[in-house]
């Protein structure tokens, strides 16, 4: 339709008045249809010109952001219409590409309810406007969406607490049973001999000591896994932290005939991360990789930017895992090792959540495993793909 009208404009002097009336009618029908679409959606939509003067606003806008109520906003400067200074400031900074680090969600009291509204600003260029930008402002009610997310997080936490509690109960059963049996044996020995030397009693007491240590280990690991991490995110380069880790683990890996290669892109964007927690996560992964290569092998630590994320990969040439094992590895207390705690990957998962990141794994039985940690690149570090700053845009 747009192309048809553009062609018609070029040949306008060859058209008679009836043809022109037809074109105008079809245009008016199209505008009406688009307005109906914009009126039917739940979001608020405002279209403005390059100086933030309103061309169009749908009737839902005043229900979402505090603004002057009017039948027709056409031609009015946005600054005279939007009544909330924070929303207005956000829109103006967005237009200047300076709002990347600001939160785009705003909370308003509506009677007895609190409403959260997300503001998004999109830029587009019209050919007829000689390349000047126009803006689409979208206001979306995210109150319900945010509440659902919070509910989901709570139930996820509750579910993992239940699994953890079940795990602990299972774990402490064995040491308690061993202690019970040895207490009985000690009693019997005492009854039999009436008096026990330390030497006689030591067989039983040693077991006691061992099991108490085991119980203590279970409790310490449990507390580490469930307690909220004391996360201190700081903006910085991960390259130094990663090469520190490589130097730290290399001697121990060499003892186990494991060759480590570190492949770190030097131009990585900076990240918000907690250095100690990142080290802890990588040490857990490297230790698991080493454990999976009894007779030696290779570990590769890689870090690179991938879209809006930095990914750190730990690959090994170890035993790999079958699908059944893969399903369970992040469950607390799942271990295939005789002396494993089964909490290493639970902790890594938790650390990644603290970084708003993710962890994934690929594994092939008999070939090896790759764990991938993915960290979001802070908005301020992303390459600015939008237009450069324009002057004189904001009309008060």
Binding residues vs ligand ADP (CB under 6 A): 284, 288-289, 292, 316, 318-319, 321, 325, 329, 334-337, 340-346, 369
Q: Cβ contacts of residue 355 below 8 Å, gap of 6+?
A: 231, 233, 272, 273, 274, 277, 278, 375
Q: Least separation, in Å, of the C-beta of 239 and ligand ADP? A: 23
Among candidate residues 349, 338, 271, 342, the one with its CA nearest the CA of residue 311: 271
Q: Residue 205 or residue 365: which is nearer to ligand ADP going by CB?
A: 365
Binds 146: which of ligand ADP, Mg ion, none (CB < 5-8 Å by kind)? none
Smallest separation (angstroms) from Mg ion to the CB of 371: 11
Structure tokens at 151: 């509910």
Binding piece for Mg ion, criterion CB under 5 A, among 5-13, 56-64, 282-290, 374-382: 282-290
Interaction between residue 288 and Mg ion (CB under 5 A): yes
- 114 in Cβ contact with 108 (< 8 Å): yes
Chain position carrying tokens 């997300």: 118
Residue 193 or residue 336: which is nearer to ligand ADP going by CB? Answer: 336
Nearer to Mg ion, 207 or 299 (CB): 299
**Residue 207 binds which entry of Mg ion, ligand ADP, none, with Cβ cut-offs from 5 to 8 Å by kind?**
none
Using CB positions, name the residue nearest to ligand ADP.
344
CB 331 to ligand ADP: min, Å: 8
Closest approach of Cβ 283 to ligand ADP, in Å? 11
CB of 321 to ligand ADP, least distance (A): 5
Which listed option, ligand ADP, Mg ion, none, makes contact with residue 289 (CB within 5 to 8 Å by class)? ligand ADP
DSSP string, 227-269: SPP----EEE-HHHHHHHHHHHHHHHHHHTTEEEEEEE-TTPP
129-137, 153-161, 236-244, 341-349 -> range binding Mg ion (CB under 5 A): 341-349
Q: Toward ligand ADP, which CB reaches closer, 87 or 225?
A: 225
Nearer to ligand ADP, 88 or 329 (CB): 329
Whichever of 56 and 334 has its CB closer to ligand ADP, that residue is 334
Q: How far is the CB of 372 from ligand ADP (least distance, A)?
A: 12
> What CA–CA distance (Å, rounded) separates 27 from 55?
17
Round to whole Å and give the CA distance between 251 and 257: 10
Q: For residues 164-195, b (16+ Cβ closer than 10 Å) or e, as one string?
A: beebbeebbeebeeebeebeeebeeeeeeeee
Smallest CA-to-CA distance from 261 within 229, 220, 302, 216 is with 302
Three-state DSSP state, 98? coil
Q: What is the DSSP letter of 112?
A: T
Residues 58-87 that bind Mg ion (CB under 5 A): none
Q: Considering the complex, what minimum distance in angstroms separates the CB of residue 40 from Mg ion?
A: 54
* Residue 344 lies near Mg ion (rule: CB under 5 A): yes
Alpha-carbon distances, residue 383 vs 245, 304, 305, 379 (angstroms): 28, 15, 12, 9
* Spatial separation of the C-alpha atoms in residues 93 and 241, rounded to whole Å: 35
The three-state secondary structure class of 165 is: helix
For every residue of 310-357, DSSP letters joined together read: EEEEEEE-S----HHHHHHTTSTT---STT--S-HHHHHHHHHHHTT-
- Minimum CB distance to Mg ion smaller for 87 or for 292: 292
**Shortest Å, Cβ 235 to ligand ADP:** 29
Contacted entry of Mg ion, ligand ADP, none for residue 175, CB cut-off 5 to 8 Å set by kind: none
Secondary structure (3-state) at 63? helix
- What are the residues facing 298 on neighbouring strands? 259
If the CB atoms of residues 119 and 321 are measured against ligand ADP, the closer one turns out to be: 321
Rounded least distance, CB 167 to ligand ADP, Å: 11
Binding mask 298-337 for Mg ion (x = CB under 5 A): ----------------------------------------
Residues within the interface to Mg ion (CB under 5 A):
288, 344
């Amino acid at each position: 339709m747009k192309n048809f009208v553009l062609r018609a404009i070029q040949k306008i002097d060859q058209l008679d008045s009836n043809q022109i009336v037809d074109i105008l009618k079809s245009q008016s029908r199209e505008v009406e249809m688009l307005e109906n679409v914009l009126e039917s959606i739940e979001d608020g939509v405002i279209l403005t010109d390059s100086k933030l003067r309103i061309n169009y606003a749908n009737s839902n806008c005043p229900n979402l952001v505090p603004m002057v109520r009017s039948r027709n906003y056409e031609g009015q400067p946005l600054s005279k219409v939007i009544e909330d200074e924070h929303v207005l400031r956000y829109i103006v900074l967005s237009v200047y590409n300076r709002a990347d680090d600001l939160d785009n969600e705003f909370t308003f009291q509506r009677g007895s309810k609190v409403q959260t509204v997300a503001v998004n600003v999109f830029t587009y260029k019209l050919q007829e406007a000689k390349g000047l930008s126009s803006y689409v402002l979208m206001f979306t009610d995210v109150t319900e969406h945010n509440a659902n997310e919070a509910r989901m997080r709570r139930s996820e936490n509750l579910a993992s607490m239940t699994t953890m509690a079940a795990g602990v109960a299972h774990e402490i059963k064995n040491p308690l049973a061993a202690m019970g049996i040895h207490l009985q044996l000690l009693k019997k020995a005492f009854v039999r001999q009436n008096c026990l030397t330390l030497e006689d009693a030591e067989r039983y007491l040693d077991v006691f000591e061992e099991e108490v240590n085991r119980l203590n280990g279970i409790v310490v690991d449990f507390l580490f896994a469930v307690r909220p991490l004391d996360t201190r995110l700081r903006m910085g380069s991960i390259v130094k932290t990663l090469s520190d880790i490589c130097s730290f683990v290399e001697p121990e890996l060499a003892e186990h005939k494991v060759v480590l290669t570190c492949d770190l892109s030097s131009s990585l964007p900076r990240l918000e991360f907690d250095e100690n927690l990142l080290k802890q996560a990588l040490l857990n992964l490297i230790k698991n990789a080493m454990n999976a290569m009894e007779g030696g092998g290779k570990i590769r630590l890689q870090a690179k930017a991938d879209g809006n994320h930095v990914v750190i990969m730990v690959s090994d040439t170890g035993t790999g895992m079958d699908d059944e094992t893969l399903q369970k590895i992040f469950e607390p207390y799942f271990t295939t090792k005789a002396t494993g705690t089964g909490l290493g990957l639970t902790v890594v998962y938790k650390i990644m959540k603290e970084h708003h990141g993710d962890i994934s794994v690929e594994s092939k039985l008999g070939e090896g495993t790759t764990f991938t940690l993915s960290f979001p690149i802070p908005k301020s570090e992303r390459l600015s793909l939008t237009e450069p700053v324009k002057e004189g845009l904001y009309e008060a």
